[in-house]
Amino acid sequence: MENNKATLGEFIIENQKHYKSTTGEFSRLLSSIKLAAKIVNHEVNKAGLVDIMGAAGATNIQGEDQQKLDVYANDVFMKTLINREIVCGVASEEEDDFVTICGKDGSNQNKYVVLIDPLDGSSNIDVNVSVGTIFSIYKRVTPIGAPVELKDFLQPGNQQVAAGYVVYGTSTMLVYTSGYGVNGFTLNPALGTFYLSHPEFRFPENGKIYSINEGNYVHFPQGVKDYLKYCQEEKEDRPYTSRYIGSLVSDFHRNMIKGGIYIYPTSFIGPKGKLRLLYECNPMAFLAEQANGTASDGYGRILDIEPTELHQRVPFFCGSKNMVAKAEEFMAKYPEDADY
């Protein structure tokens, strides 16, 4: 069956036609992400057989407990991108600061930087729930050859060249966009090859799923509480179904296929939200918009936010267009909550 489907490598080469001055650098970058994902997938699938489950005994820059697989996945992606010298800089959710990559002469002629969440939802690994990797790619804004600077990474999401995620689940999929739609590739573990399995992903404009941690309901802003009541009303087209995995990649993937909205708002216990703008919200927002969906902070477009910090957090409303628009209607009634 796979013989009739394009491999990820073939698809990348075929789609170089979209770029007027391609040098192959972008293709090599995606191939490196693909390689690292296969290595991490192999380790994830050994959970329970080897000592990779549980906490690593350290915390990351956000003060969160790191899982052993967090550390492992971060190490794999960082080494793969750094050792191949195909990017000029990498920023990871698990690292305090960005990493500058220089050649033997101290310069770097590459033009891309990568921001990555190596293992999203890692706390779920101990209970055998799907986890994922999220990545975002930008062209540097500093001169080629010079060391990268913070401003290379603090670009608004609308400047992304590509973004994607890998979901390690019942099957392992790599889903990405380079600004020309969203396509999904499923790994054949016997061959170690990703095949195009889900061409041209599209969010349904309406959905019946809302994904939010309702255990934090009492801490949510009033606009979110009102929207949840709307979702639960007995009407002709409602109530909606609540589905929340606690792994952004998995929740997003399901909602993109079936139609739905994912919400991680501000709260009294997380006044700026929990998700990181650069590692999670921007790449997922780019994917959503390329797949007929939308993404907002509750008041405006995620991709237009000007980043101010490497590990900046923002509230996140993402999914089917009409559902996000309706949530924004409720949020607009409480403009004071926009000052997160």
Higher pLDDT, residue 286 or 27: 286
Higher pLDDT, residue 108 or 295: 295
Which amino acid makes up residue 290?
A: Q
Annotated binding site: which residue ranges? 93, 117, 119-123, 213, 244, 274, 280
Q: How crowded is the C-beta side of 82, counted as CA atoms within 13 Å?
A: 13
State the first-to-last Cα distance of the chain, in angstroms, to the nearest integer.
50
pLDDT tens sequence across 152-193: 999 999 999 999 999 998 899 999 999 999 999 999 989 999
pLDDT tens sequence across 3-42: 578 999 999 888 876 665 556 788 889 999 999 999 999 8
Q: Which domains, ranges and CATH numbers included, belong to the chain?
A: 2-198 (3.30.540.10), 209-338 (3.40.190.80)
Q: What pTM was estimated for this model as a whole?
A: 0.92
Annotated binding site for substrate: which residue ranges? 120-123, 213, 244, 274
Report the chain's mean pLDDT, rounded to a whole number: 90
Q: Which residues contact 234 (CB under 8 A, 6 or more apart)?
A: none
Annotated binding site for Mg(2+): which residue ranges? 93, 117, 119-120, 280
- Res 234 pLDDT > 90: yes
